[in-house]
Amino acid sequence: MPTSGRLRWFIFIGLAPSVALFLLFVIAPMIWSVYYGFYDWSGIGDSRFIKLDNYKEVFDDPVFWKALKNNLIVVAASVFGQVPIALILALVLRKTSLFQRIVRGAIFMPMVLSSVVIGMIWQYMYHPQVGILNFALDWLQLGNLKRQWLGDPDIAMYSLTVPIVWNYIGLYLLLFMAALSNTPAEVDDAAKIDGASGARKLFAVTLPMIWGTIQVAVILCIAGSLKAFDLVFVMTGGGPAHGTELLATYMYNNTFNIYRFGYGSAISTVTIIISFMFIIISQLLLRRDQRQF
Amino acid sequence: MNNTLQSAKSYNRIINRSTNRVVVILLTIYSALTVYPLLWLLISAFKTDQEFFLRPFGLPEHWMGENLRRAWSVGHMGQGFLNSIIVTSISLLLTLLVGSLGAYIVARFRFKLKPVVMGMFMIGMLIPIHSTLVPLFILMKQMHILNSYGALLFPYTAFALPTTIFIISAFMSSIPRDLEEAAMMDGNGLWGIFWRVMLPVSRPALATTGILSFLQFWNDYAFALIFISNNALKTLPLSLSIFTTGYSTNYGLTMAAIAIAAIPTILIYLLLQEQVMKGMTAGAVKG
């Protein structure tokens, strides 16, 4: 057995690199953002301490609220788009046949692409002149449905939710498939004996069995929606007229386009707090529901 | 009675068979729609700009390799590839090494600060990384490491560590202790046990986290965009940004550039499909 001194040394050496990297590049910036939020600073030169002014401005800023609303639209699209579609697909994709494996592989494929690739592909799919979507509408004799999909501030945010759902559905499909394959076979047999089949079996037996996974999926949707920076940044940059601004793009634009580093930091701090609130609330909901079962 | 039961059964079978057929058709349509954007990308990469208007759904008349060649040189994509390979492989090595060492400590030893360390990593997994872009930028500016490989590989590693540690330590906790005891009998110290026993046995977990981190690093756009402005250091995703601004009406050229950037990960996915799926699902649930 190593002596306790050597053991302590080993624990220290073993953990020090990961803890140091993590403190320096993840935790410190979070604290830094609170600090710079108190300053008026253009990124170079002098900064001026302005107390809570930046934070007050955040809460009075209509664009900030618009960005928060857009983040919630992404959450809603993920919860009501990704989760049900993935669930239906998981229910019909339970076999291991070659056909089903290919379908699964195809649905998951967007997950491995860089968001800049996905953003640019969809930018061109939506393109007013060469976009395949408008061509398809023409071909279907639905020319009057043609839109400036990303150019119209009223619909741009909704156009953006389609690639987001498309991108991540494979992940949720796999989550649900794993959950379904973990339900014991006896439950299926029991349902058969009780004469439950089809929709009744689905709602009375299958869905309750994987309810925990559905909740995990919802939490992932919430956490994931806060990460949807790249795609929106590539496709619209938050425009037109802040129509697709997310918290992260608004922070970026304030900081790197109009050089308000202090204000950008304040938005960053508030975003971190909001994310924690979202996650704590969803965790609490999850825990309470688990107690019921 | 028997007859009606039988006819009911065969009726059910017919229904089942036809619903199956409907399901197959629907699934085929759905997966075709899913893959179509990628297919469209690969076809469009070979089109002339006129063909985008003339035959939006059709195949190009001549498969123009020219687009790919020009995109490669205009976007300095060779340089981008090289930078991506350097940054990704160093970050990956660092993440797996530092992460698995941390995971071993967390899985096997008790110490006073353990709850604090674990809680810290947990918090780190929950915050959306993009919300720290601005303060991270300021911090690295003060450290004078902006516009260097370090500006990418340190944040990459730091943000990948929690998931890596959680996945690998969960795996290590399930390894029977007999193995370590036997290694100790053979005269191995703690380092020997880590290198000769824990690391080799944890290969499946290392593969899972490795694939997950590889895709994260290779595909990253936000960090590279903000922390790298020097052309010589631009990674592959970043080399696409020139096409969004300067060449956006050069449709074929831009599509070719996107295709070049997309093909490596698609190939890796086709080769290692099961592992990639497993890695990304594990990462999502732990992260």
**What distance lies between CA B64 and its chain's CA centroid?**
30
Confidence at residue A277, expressed as pLDDT on a 0 to 100 scale: 86
Place of tokens 């649930």: B285
Q: Which two tokens stand for residue B86?
A: 């350097």
Residues B248 and B157 in one domain: yes
In this complex, do B221 and A30 lie within 8 Å of one another by their Cβ atoms? no
Distance from CA of A279 to the nearest CA of B (A): 8
CB-based contact B111 A11, cutoff 8 Å: yes
Q: Please tell me whether residues B162 and B248 are part of one structural domain.
A: yes
Residue A252 and residue B40: Cβ atoms within 8 Å?
Answer: no
Residue B180: alpha-carbon gap to chain centroid: 33
Which residues of chain B lie closer than 8 angstroms to A264, CB-CB? Answer: 134
Judge whether residue B287 has pLDDT over 50: no
Determine the residue among B134, B250, B271 to mutate to test chain A binding: the one whose Cβ has the most chain A Cβ atoms within 10 Å. B134
Nearest to A30 among B132, B220, B221 (CB): B132
Residues B37, B80 within the same domain: no
| CATH classification of the domain holding B165 | 1.10.3720.10
Prior bond to A240 cis, omega within 30?
yes
- Other C-beta atoms lying within 10 Å of the C-beta of residue B247: 17
**Res B269: pLDDT:** 92
Q: In this predicted model, what pLDDT tens digit does every residue of B226-267 receive, in sequence order?
A: 999 988 999 999 998 888 776 667 888 888 999 999 999 999
The helix/strand/coil state of A197 is coil
Which residue, chain included where needed, has tokens 């499946």? B204
Q: Are residues B58 and B109 in the same domain?
A: no
Crossing angle for the helix pair A4-22 and B150-173, nearest 10 degrees?
Answer: 130
Q: What is residue B17's predicted lDDT score, i.e. its pLDDT?
A: 74
- Is the CB of B221 less than 8 angstroms away from the CB of A264? no
Give the mutation candidate from A112, A123, A218 for the B interface (greatest B CB count, under 10 A). Answer: A112
Q: B126-142 burial by CB neighbour count: b if 16+ within 10 A, else e? A: bbbbbbbbbbbbbbbee
Inter-chain touch A89–B133, beta carbons under 8 Å: no
- Which of B65, B83, B103 terminates a domain? The answer is B65
Specify the range with the lowest mean pLDDT, choosing from A193-202, A260-269, B18-27, B60-69. A193-202
Same domain, yes or no, for B92 and B18? no
Domain boundary among B34, B65, B96: B65
ipTM: 0.85
A26 close contact with B: CB closer than 8 A: yes
- CATH class as words, domain A53-292: mainly alpha
User: Last residue of a domain, which of B42, B65, B88?
Assistant: B65
Gap between the terminal Cα atoms of chain A: 46
| CB nearest B262 (choices: A23, A111, A117) | A117
Is the CB of A114 less than 8 angstroms away from the CB of B218?
yes
- Residue A174, helix vs strand vs coil: helix
Q: Which residues of chain A have pLDDT under 70?
A: 1-3, 286-293
Rg over alpha carbons for chain A, rounded to the nearest Å, is 24
Asked if B168 and B253 sit in the same domain, the reply is yes
Q: What is the pLDDT of residue A284?
A: 78
Q: What are phi and psi of A49, to 5 degrees?
A: -75, 120
A interface mutation test: which of B25, B34, B131 has the most A CBs within 10 A?
B131
Q: Are residues B147 and B247 in the same domain?
A: yes
- Minimum Cα–Cα distance from B161: chain A residue: A18
Q: Does residue B84 register a pLDDT over 50?
A: yes
Q: Each residue of B98-134: pLDDT tens digit?
A: 999 999 999 999 888 899 999 888 887 777 777 788 8
pLDDT grade, residue B4 (50/70/90)? low
Distance from CA of B161 to the nearest CA of A (A): 7
User: Of A114, A171, A264, which is closest to B281 when you measure between CB atoms?
Assistant: A171
Q: Identify the pLDDT of residue B11.
A: 65
Per-position DSSP letters for A2-37, written without gaps between them:
--HHHHHHHHHHHHHHHHHHHIIIIIHHHHHHHHHT
B37/B18 same-domain check: yes
The distance of B34 to chain A (nearest Cα, Å) reads 6
Say yes or no: B80 and B61 in one domain.
Answer: no
Residues 68-127 of A with CB under 8 A from B: 89, 92-93, 99-100, 102-103, 105-117, 120-125
Which residues of chain A from 203 to 262 reach within 8 Å of chain B, CB to CB? 216, 220, 223, 226-227, 229-230, 233-234, 247-248, 251-252, 255-256, 261
Identify the DSSP state of B127. Answer: S
Which pLDDT score is estimated for B2?
56
Find the domain containing B179 and state its range: 75-286
Which whole-number Å values give the CA distances from B198 to B181, B201, B270, in the listed order? 12, 5, 30
- Mean pLDDT, rounded, for B217-221: 93
The answer to whether position B230 is within a domain reads: yes
> For residue range A89-140, what is the model confidence (pLDDT) as tens digits?
998 887 778 888 888 889 999 999 998 999 988 988 898 888 888 888 888 8
| Domain ranges for chain A | 53-292
Write down the pLDDT at residue A86: 93
**Token couple for A41:** 């600073």
Q: What is the pLDDT of residue A62?
A: 92
Chain B, nearest residue to A105 by Cα: B273
Give chain B's radius of gyration (CA, Å): 25
Q: What is the pLDDT, as a whole number, of residue A19?
A: 95
The beta strand positions in chain A, using DSSP E, are: 39-40, 48-49
Contacts of B159 in chain A (CB under 8 A): 25-26
- pLDDT > 80? residue B177: yes
How many domains is chain B built from?
2
Residues 6+ apart with CB under 8 A from B259: B41, B42, B45, B68
Please check whether residues B30 and B113 belong to one and the same domain.
Answer: no
Smallest Cβ–Cβ distance between A25 and the set B53, B158, B254 belongs to B158
Asked if A110's CB is within 8 angstroms of B104's CB, the reply is: no
Which ranges of B143-250 would DSSP assign to H, the alpha helix?
Answer: 150-173, 178-185, 190-193, 199-201, 203-219, 222-227, 236-239, 241-245
Indicate if B185 and B228 belong to the same structural domain. yes
B210 pLDDT more than 80: yes
Q: Are residues B89 and B231 in the same domain?
A: yes
